Amino acid sequence: MKLRSEKGFTGIDISISVVIIFIFVSIIAALIAQVNSKSREISLKNDATYIAINEIEKVKSNGLEEYVGKSEADGNNVICENEEIENEEGFYKTITVLDYADVEKDEEIEKDIVKKVTVKISYMFRNEEQKVELSTIVSKES
């Protein structure tokens, strides 16, 4: 005569399976959160790069004449610093113009002919400032 029934699951079987399911669900949730965070980071960096390219193109289309003679004693000319970008909330731009003669540190190079323009776009991600910086060389048209 059997006193114990062999049918069904015991409480230990159910609790072990619940723990295993909980571990797998936690791992999957952590992976999904990490993928979403990385996707957001990449999206912000892509937006900042796009903005920087547009700012470089604006500088190129406006021409060098806008920046000739504006250099300070050290050759640096900050056109704008941490200026908020229109229609792009959370992004800030800094545009710096440096005379190419000062970049090369060569006294024989004529000033105000070629300028190095640097555009830095900054934004916040995870409470840290992130930056995208692009540079180009712009020359004076003859």
Digits of tens for pLDDT over the chain (142 positions)? 555 666 666 788 889 999 999 999 999 999 999 999 999 999 999 999 999 999 888 888 877 666 555 545 445 576 777 778 878 788 998 888 887 776 666 667 677 777 888 899 999 999 999 999 999 888 776 5
What's phi and psi for 84, nearest 5 deg?
Answer: -70, 140
What's phi and psi for 49, nearest 5 deg?
Answer: -65, -40
Half-sphere exposure of 71 (CA within 13 A, CB side): 22
Buried b (16+ CB within 10 A) or exposed e, 11-33: eeeeeeeeeeeeeeeeeeeeeee
Query: In Å, what is the CA distance from 138 to each residue of 25, 44, 68?
Result: 55, 27, 11
> What is the C-alpha separation between 64 and 61, in angstroms, rounded?
9
> What is the C-alpha separation between 34 and 43, in angstroms, rounded?
14
3-state secondary structure of 74: coil
Amino acid 99: pLDDT: 78
